[in-house]
Structure 1
Amino acid sequence: MTMNILVVDDEELARQRIQSLLQENSEYKICAEAENGAEALMMVERHQPDLILLDISMPVMDGLEVAKHLSGMPNPPAVIFTTAYGEYALEAFSTKATGYLMKPIRQEQLLKSLQQARSLNRAQRSKVLDDNEVTGAGRKHICARMRGNLELIPIEDVYYFQADQKYVTVRHKQGEVIIEESLKSLETDLADKFIRIHRNALVAKSRITGLAKNNIGRVQVKIEKIDDQLEVSRRHVAEIRRFVRNR
């Protein structure tokens, strides 16, 4: 059975090289290409590839962040990272991707990695990505589905996240969307940029302008440019007051 492959690299010559290495091998078919991580996620939705040859260092969204978003998909493809920079190896392996290739990629190494990936079924690939340990240190986007399409929201545009049962509302500059990520995972990934004010809410640190009390004496955060009223729980009041005072 032919394995469908998505090739993701911001350099056209690199994509062409992979094409040339596989062009005479009927076991593998390049079903699509992408030149950055954001485009890669769109191509995954559109073409449902079995595997991605994924460059790590790219504009817009790097390969490690792509792997993070893939982990939330119901049937993720296998991932083989490609890069010219050896210092990414440790972080790439922490994602438990099925392979890691250094550029310039040699045909023998490529075919060996593809064969290893072929041995995993979809359920096994999903488990590999579910077990990944990619942190949110380099995460720059929130990935949401809108009317069947993927929408990428820059982290810097987000005002707050608010949980309601299994869903989380993302309030951002252009409006709001609902995602299925947990508030806990968002807090872990984005701890340097967001602060918890309530068991159901994280607010962007840079967006908090002060505190106020509502008409029944409950403390609320004031958020720049929007009038949304988010309550600070008693458990978090002291921490939020310290944060506002010391910023």
Structure 2
Amino acid sequence: MKIVIVDDEPLARERLRRMIEPFPGYEVVGEAGDGESALRCLHNTAADTVLLDVHMPGMDGLQVARALAESDVPPAVIFITAHSEHALSAHNSHAAGYLLKPVRRDDLAAALSRARRPSRAQLAALEDNASTDRPAFVSARTRDGIERVAVADILYFWADQKYTTVYHMQGELLIEQSLLTLEQSLGGAFMRVHRKALVACRHITGLRLDGPDGASLTLRHVRDGVPVSRRRLADVRALLEK
């Protein structure tokens, strides 16, 4: 596992590096002292995991994590903070773990072990690559001919009466396929979260509670949340907590 350490304090970075060195199977491939440098380092090293300080001047750790979430397969994020009040924000960001300073060796080892488990985005990508019988495109007949959208570019489907709207990276497309047919053909890379909504797991960034009886998913590249029905809420929580 390739790890990048991000902390504005050089001594803190050095301490984490020394703690990781004896762990078999882990390699520190980069360090950064601020958020912008961290993003560049993670891009250049293609690290699997980032140890990310929450409180940094300028771009803080939570902002870095939100930027990383825009990647198709983001690295696992383990937040590190000296302030317990930041732990809740880190936890709500669906990170692989969060640790309080001073970090204990056993806690760090446990967090890194959890981070080794493939994320939902990684599993979805593997599923897509391994599958040969699932469609690579969704097509629709239009007045100009046939238009198709790559499944990899689809954010979610929304059913309304006889048509289904495909929301994708480049816009929208109306198709006649039902959500049930799409769900069966596309497999585990998409999840039914509402009787009207089927979402791409790789683009889910979080769950927002809208009140005692309501919830919605936040997705990359989507401004408004996608509703989650009460009967689907437990399944959505289970997906996000893995």
Show the counterpart of 2:51: 53
Mapping 1:55-74, distance limit 5 Å = 55-74=53-72
> Could you tell me the percent identity over the aligned residues?
38
Structure 1, gaps ≥5 residues long: 135-179, 186-247
Match for residue 100 of structure 1?
98
Aligned residue among 118, 127, 131 for 2:116: 118
Residue identity in the other structure for 2:52: L
Report the alpha carbon displacement of residue 133 of structure 1 after superposing the two structures with TM: 5.4
Listed one character per residue, the Cα deviations across residues 156-198 of structure 1 (whole Å, up to 9, x for unaligned) are: xxxxxxxxxxxxxxxxxxxxxxxx945558xxxxxxxxxxxxx
Amino acid at match of 1:113: A
Report if aligned partners of 1:96, 1:129 keep a CA contact under 8 Å in 2: no
Q: CA deviation at 1:131?
A: 2.8
Residue of structure 1 equivalent to 2:206: 132
Judged with a 3 Å threshold, the aligned counterparts in structure 2 of structure 1 residues 123 and 23 are, in CA distance, closer, same or farther, namely same
Amino acid at match of 1:131: T
**Pairwise CA RMSD of aligned residues?**
2.4
Distance 1:131 1:184, change over 3 A: closer
Query: In the alignment, what sits opposite 1:236?
Result: none
Q: 2:73·2:202 contact (CA, 8 Å) conserved in 1?
A: no
Give the structure-2-normalised TM-score. 0.52
Q: Which amino acid aligns with 1:7?
A: I
Greater CA drift, 86-95 or 117-126: 117-126
The one of 88, 91, 95 aligned to 1:90: 88
Shift of residue 119, structure 1, vs aligned partner: 1.6
Q: Which residue of 2 aligns with 1:9?
A: 7
- Structure 2 vs 1, CA of residues 38 and 129 (structure 1 numbering), >3 Å: closer, same or farther? farther
The SS at the match of 1:92 is helix
Distance apart, 1:74 and its partner CA = 1.5
Q: State the Cα distance separating 1:129 from its structure 2 match.
A: 7.8
| Counterpart-to-counterpart distance in 2, 1:5 and 1:65 | 19
Relative to structure 1, the CA distance from residue 183 to residue 113 in structure 2 (aligned partners, 3 Å threshold; closer, same or farther) is: closer
1:40 and 1:124 mapped to 2: Cα distance? 25
Residues in 2 aligned to 1:61 and 1:75: alpha-carbon distance in whole angstroms: 21
Following the alignment from structure 2 to structure 1, what is the Cα–Cα distance between the partners of residues 204 and 14?
Answer: 31
Larger radius of gyration: 1
- Alpha carbons of structure 1 residues 56 and 125: separation in structure 2 relative to 1, 3 Å: farther
| 2:72–2:203 CA contact under 8 A, matched in 1 | no
Query: For the structure 1 residues 34 and 5, does the alpha-carbon distance in structure 2 shift closer, same or farther, using more than 3 Å as the test?
Result: same
Residue equivalent to 1:36: 34
Quote the Cα distance in structure 2 between the aligned partners of 1:53 and 1:22.
11
In structure 2, the CA distance between the partners of 1:113 and 1:183, relative to structure 1 (3 Å rule), is closer
TM-fit CA distance, 1:89: 1.2
Report if aligned partners of 1:55, 1:83 keep a CA contact under 8 Å in 2. Answer: yes
Give 1:130 shift.
3.0
Alpha-carbon spacing, 1:5–1:128, altered in 2? closer, same or farther (3 Å): farther
| Whole-angstrom distance in 2 between the partners of 1:30 and 1:125 | 26
Aligned-partner Cα distance in 1 for 2:57–2:92: 21
Q: 1:1-247 alignment to 2 at 5 Å?
A: 3-121=1-119, 123=122, 130-132=204-206, 181-182=221-222, 184=224
